[in-house]
Structure 1
Amino acid sequence: MAKKLQNQQNHFSLRRIKPLTLNQEDTFDAFNQGKHLLLHGVAGTGKTFISLYLALNEVLKGNSFYDKIVIIRSVVPSRDMGFLPGNVKEKTKVYEEPYREICDDLFGRGDGYDILKTKKLIEFGTTSYLRGITFKNAIVVVDESQNMNYHELDTIITRIGDNCRIVFCGDYRQSDLNSKERTGLLEFMKIIDRMGCFDKIEFGVEDIVRSELVKNYIVTKLELGFA
């Protein structure tokens, strides 16, 4: 049994991914140039997938400047996780599933995400538990940022300490927030644009890689004027 477990650990390697669209290629280039990133655009374009891939590829290098990846997302519809049953770990588990699926895919095994967490190479958190925290030596991936109000986005970026990179992923049109709170991401993006240390990459329908059905649906939805 111990030998079998050791063999599983020895076969833990990240599969290589190549960009499939021009905007994905721009994302690879900007990340490799050391930029902070804001990836904005329609669903199905691989924003979260390639962000995690690039972060993992960097953290797993033998000479990496970074110790870990921190994934952050908001809990919607209720940001107060006290409404959810169980302890913090149980409350956040359901929101980790997309990242578990991505990591398991990238490592070609069903326990890829669990191994990364055990090795403390990945941490997951929500915007409900950020006060008093300073991230150091980490690549921070902020996912579903359209579901964060301005205060949450402001809180996240002011938690960034020494030797960190940050990647924001989102699409204003997919927001679950009310109309008043939705402006938070747009206001935040204006600040990011002015700072000069971020590359903002806009993903359009031509970047959809999830499936032809998804692409057809989103194109049709936009043609009909639905958000």
Structure 2
Amino acid sequence: MGALLEKLKPMSKGQEEMLQALKSDEYEIVGLFGPTGSGKSLFSVLYGIDAILEEKYKKLIISRPVVDVVTGKELTAQELGEQFYEIAFAYLRDILSEFIEWNKVEELIKEGKIIFADTHYLRGRTFDDAIIFLDDAQNIPPESSVEILMRIGRNSKFVIAGDPVFQKPHGVERDGATVMREVLIGEENAKVVDLGLKDIVRPGARRGIRLLIEMRMRNRPLNEIEKRILDAARIYAPDADVITVVEFVDAKKQFEITAEHVPDALIIVKEGYLGRLVGKGGERIQKIEQDTEMRLRAVELTLDFTNIIRAVHPVSWIYKHVLDADFEGPYLAVKVRSNEFGAFVGQRGFHVKFLDAVFRKLLGVGVKAYEVIEEEETGRRKKRR
């Protein structure tokens, strides 16, 4: 391991997998996908600088889109002039401040060993003996990320990082990170590392993600049923901070969900406000149900999404067998004990398809279910054999 990476200790399984993928000579392409604060940029840049200091590669090319936060437009080096490189230097300085003296980084830049490349002007260039690092891939069109991929020359490594869930542009379904992740899965000599909420280690990042999710929920457009429920909640529980309402009556019909405990809609409230919405004896939410003629349930917004699964899944006790629910690319990956996996998925997969419909409407992410054989269960099976 290089001198800079020695200063950096992985703090989660996802970070360990990311580090091994970067260091491995087996992979020419490494895709790192997950939320901010999970170390994608830090690990990639430290690995790249270590590699050029050890002369494994001749140069580190960093390509990162500069986006106007107001308009959402990607800005070019031609438009920004010197400011483009000032932004690039600030980005690199923020990443490296605790690991290497900035004057040493400046020397590498002057020597042409660290190069900043505008994503718009890569056509026609070929990078040999280089590490190419494309960061924030969710902010560029898919064809631009593929264009960079085509620039890889001899003895080169391409590292792409992005967030296909929380930081992708609003209203864009097929962003660069999402598409490149799909392209790289199963690609020869490529490795995809999915990082989730459990891999967020940067102070404040978890709170930032929670606030970002809350903002997206508050801004999502409501249909007429959802507006009617929200209006009733404001009348009967005026002191409850309701973030959003999501109804799924049609999804229940489509996937033949008939269990009585499954609500018609879910009310999401800010943490600490559930009691105010429900009322001491449940009288407030009962009045909202009577007013709207809808079967309702309410949950607080946290980063533990098992509470939503518990609230809407057709099998009332299934949450006890959910071992983990975290993001994997543009999906919520739910890991379920093998002995109850069938109950979670449902006949013809209707239970998990119903969950998928709910989460897509609420958060814009799909749901995938994974069967997990726990170690104790595996041990019992071995004894029987």
Instruction: Report the TM-score range of the alignment, normalised by the length of the smaller protein.
Output: 0.7 to 0.9
Structural RMSD (CA)? 2.5
Task: Provide, for residues 62-83 of structure 1, a one-character-per-residue CA deviation record: whole Å limited to 9, x for no partner.
Answer: xx33101100012323335277
Residues 1:101 and 2:94 are matched in the alignment: yes
Q: Which amino acid aligns with 2:35?
A: V
- Give the alignment of 1:32-47 within 5 angstroms: 32-34=23-25, 35=27, 36-47=29-40
Q: CA deviation at 1:96?
A: 3.6
- Give the alignment of 1:131-170 within 5 angstroms: 131-170=123-162
Which residue pairs with 2:58 in the alignment? 67
Given that 2:33 and 2:181 are in contact with CA atoms closer than 8 Å, whether structure 1 keeps it comes out as no
Q: CA deviation at 1:179?
A: 3.0
Query: Quick one: structure 1 residues 180 and 102, their matched pair in 2 at CA, closer, same or farther if it must change by over 3 Å?
Result: closer
Residues 1:53 and 2:7 are matched in the alignment: no
Report the TM-score when normalising by structure 1: 0.80
Range 137-146 or range 120-129, more displaced: 120-129
- Give the alignment of 1:157-196 within 5 angstroms: 157-177=149-169, 179-180=171-172, 182-196=174-188
2:12 maps to which of 21, 33, 50: 21
Q: CA deviation at 1:178?
A: 5.3
Given that 2:60 and 2:131 are in contact with CA atoms closer than 8 Å, whether structure 1 keeps it comes out as yes
CA distance in 2 between partners of 1:204 and 1:78 (Å)? 27
Secondary structure class of the residue paired with 1:195 = coil
Report the TM-score when normalising by structure 2: 0.49
CA distance in 1 between partners of 2:112 and 2:50 (Å)? 15
Query: Quick one: structure 1 residues 26 and 176, their matched pair in 2 at CA, closer, same or farther if it must change by over 3 Å?
Result: closer
User: How much identity, in percent, do the aligned residues show?
Assistant: 26
CA distance in 2 between partners of 1:179 and 1:162 (Å)? 38
Query: Quick one: structure 1 residues 110 and 83, their matched pair in 2 at CA, closer, same or farther if it must change by over 3 Å?
Result: closer
Q: CA deviation at 1:27?
A: 1.5
Q: CA deviation at 1:129?
A: 1.4
Q: CA deviation at 1:121?
A: 1.9
Query: Quick one: structure 1 residues 59 and 179, their matched pair in 2 at CA, closer, same or farther if it must change by over 3 Å?
Result: same
Task: Provide, for residues 47-103 of structure 1, a one-character-per-residue CA deviation record: whole Å limited to 9, x for no partner.
Answer: 100111111122211xx3310110001232333527734x3x433321442112223
Query: Quick one: structure 1 residues 90 and 193, their matched pair in 2 at CA, closer, same or farther if it must change by over 3 Å?
Result: same
Range 74-83 or range 46-55, more displaced: 74-83
User: May I ask how many residue pairs the two structures share in their alignment?
Assistant: 209
Given that 1:31 and 1:37 are in contact with CA atoms closer than 8 Å, whether structure 2 keeps it comes out as yes
Larger RCO: Structure 1 or Structure 2 (Cα < 8 Å, ≥ 6 residues apart)? 1
Which residue pairs with 1:91 in the alignment? 84
CA distance in 2 between partners of 1:209 and 1:25 (Å)? 13
Secondary structure class of the residue paired with 1:172 = coil
Q: CA deviation at 1:180?
A: 4.3
Task: Provide, for residues 167-217 of structure 1, a one-character-per-residue CA deviation record: whole Å limited to 9, x for no partner.
Answer: 111101244535346344323222211313111111111111111x32244
Query: Quick one: structure 1 residues 40 and 176, their matched pair in 2 at CA, closer, same or farther if it must change by over 3 Å?
Result: closer
1:114 maps to which of 103, 106, 124: 106
Given that 1:75 and 1:127 are in contact with CA atoms closer than 8 Å, whether structure 2 keeps it comes out as no
Which residue pairs with 1:10 in the alignment? none
Query: Quick one: structure 1 residues 98 and 80, their matched pair in 2 at CA, closer, same or farther if it must change by over 3 Å?
Result: closer
Residues 1:214 and 2:205 are matched in the alignment: yes
Task: Provide, for residues 94-132 of structure 1, a one-character-per-residue CA deviation record: whole Å limited to 9, x for no partner.
Answer: 14421122233321x343432220232211112121111
2:191 maps to which of 199, 219, 225: 199
Secondary structure class of the residue paired with 2:202 = coil
Given that 1:73 and 1:126 are in contact with CA atoms closer than 8 Å, whether structure 2 keeps it comes out as yes
Unmatched 5+ stretches in structure 1: 1-12
Query: Quick one: structure 1 residues 151 and 110, their matched pair in 2 at CA, closer, same or farther if it must change by over 3 Å?
Result: same
